[in-house]
Amino acid sequence: NAGVMQNPRHLVRRRGQEARLRCSPMKGHSHVYWYRQLPEEGLKFMVYLQKENIIDESGMPKERFSAEFPKEGPSILRIQQVVRGDSAAYFCASSRDTGSLTSYEQYFGPGTRLTVT
């Protein structure tokens, strides 16, 4: 499967625990984005990363949330001390770096549905 991979697909955490969501971009894509979808809502941008760099994290909550995209391995979205309000679907997307329209086309993974109990 050459698409964007996310795991786990479903994650249940108790309040106060940590959640780690993983994303492997499509082959040939060097840009990764994380979005959050609350029930009955569209997707909201959280963070944009390139390898070893956070380019834009303007959509990330100031506390408890962090993201990384290391030189080797998948991108990780980490939520510390989860609360019930963190329950949502978290989508990862990736894109190429070509300087054309295709740079702006983002392809999404299947999402991780986080449930905080």
Shortest distance (Å) from residue 17 CB to other proteins: 23
Strand order in the sheet with 5-7: 5-7, 19-24, 75-79, 65-68
User: Whole-angstrom Cα distance, residue 51 to residue 100?
Assistant: 20
Shortest distance (Å) from residue 108 CB to other proteins: 4
Residues 9-68 interacting with other proteins (rule: CB under 8 A):
31, 33, 35, 40-45, 48, 55-56, 58-59
Rg over alpha carbons for the chain, rounded to the nearest Å, is 14
Q: Which of 70, 65, 86 is nearest to 57 (CA)?
A: 65
Residue 18 or residue 41: which is nearer to other proteins going by CB?
41
Residues 86-105 interacting with other proteins (rule: CB under 8 A):
89, 91, 93, 95, 101, 103-105
Q: Specify whether the CB–CB gap between 53 and 3 falls below 8 A.
A: no
Interface residue list for other proteins (CB under 8 A): 31, 33, 35, 40-45, 48, 55-56, 58-59, 89, 91, 93, 95, 101, 103-108, 110-111, 113
